[in-house]
Amino acid sequence: MSQRPARVGTPQASDHLTDRVFTLPNLISFVRLLGVPVFLYLLLVARVDVAAIAVLAVGGTTDWVDGWVARRLHQVSRLGELLDPFVDRLYILATLVAFTVREVVPWQFTVALLAREVLLLGSLGMLRRHGYGPPPVHYVGKTATFLLLAAFPVLLLAKAVPATVFSAAGWSLAWWGLALYWVAGVMYVVQAGRLVRAARAR
């Protein structure tokens, strides 16, 4: 990874970052965030699977929109850099919990993804103790997130409309997403270890 996390309390290396909150990309991220409780209600309470699939599909496939709009409009913000990956991670975790409850995915798959989150939280805590902020999102992590968010509505569709093609497509996306999710996690941990060793050497 070529970029390094900025020191906490110091200016970011990217001068184009803005402190603005009310930007179009942030609005898109907030709308995506509101989709999480709507999805959970539709899937777990109302049991309207078709509507839940639609909400999940929109939330997952628009993962790239806020970042693309931010770059196109030159509205990359500090809030957006934190909000975008937070919303993605919340979508994944909320969907995993709901899917495990509804038996759409086995608990082993959920544990595998949650274990990666625990690993990442540990590395983030280590960086924080040495004065670093969170590392920039890597394209491997973004690809993994896209694959997982694309897999989830297909897996739910496979449960609602049993068909081999939906199940095969959904699990292909899910397993590739899980593998890349762990690859990205290991990359973050390796980067964190290098930064901590450099800080201790100083």
Domain assignment present for 132: yes
Q: Do residues 181 and 89 lie in contact, with contact meaning Cβ atoms separated by under 8 Å? A: no
Q: What is the CATH number of the domain that holds 130?
A: 1.20.120.1760
Q: Which residues constitute the domain of residue 43?
A: 24-201
Burial code of 83-118, b = ≥16 C-beta within 10 A, e = fewer? bbbebbeebbebbbebbbeeebbeeebbebbbebee
Q: Do residues 174 and 99 lie in contact, with contact meaning Cβ atoms separated by under 8 Å? A: no
What tens digit of pLDDT does each residue of 54-88 get?
A: 888 888 777 777 777 777 877 777 777 777 778 88
- Work out the number of other CB atoms within 10 angstroms of the CB of residue 200: 8
**What pLDDT is attached to residue 5?**
57
Domain assignment present for 8: no
The answer for residues whose C-beta is within 8 angstroms of residue 190's C-beta and 6 or more apart is none
Domain assignment present for 15: no
**Low pLDDT (below 50) residues in the chain:** 1-3, 7-15
| Residue entry with tokens 């994944």 | 92
**What pLDDT is attached to residue 2?**
40
Domain assignment present for 18: no
Domain assignment present for 121: yes
**What pLDDT is attached to residue 112?**
93
Domain assignment present for 5: no
Domain assignment present for 6: no
Does pTM surpass 0.85?
A: no
Domain assignment present for 181: yes
Q: Based on the structure, what is the number of domains in the chain?
A: 1
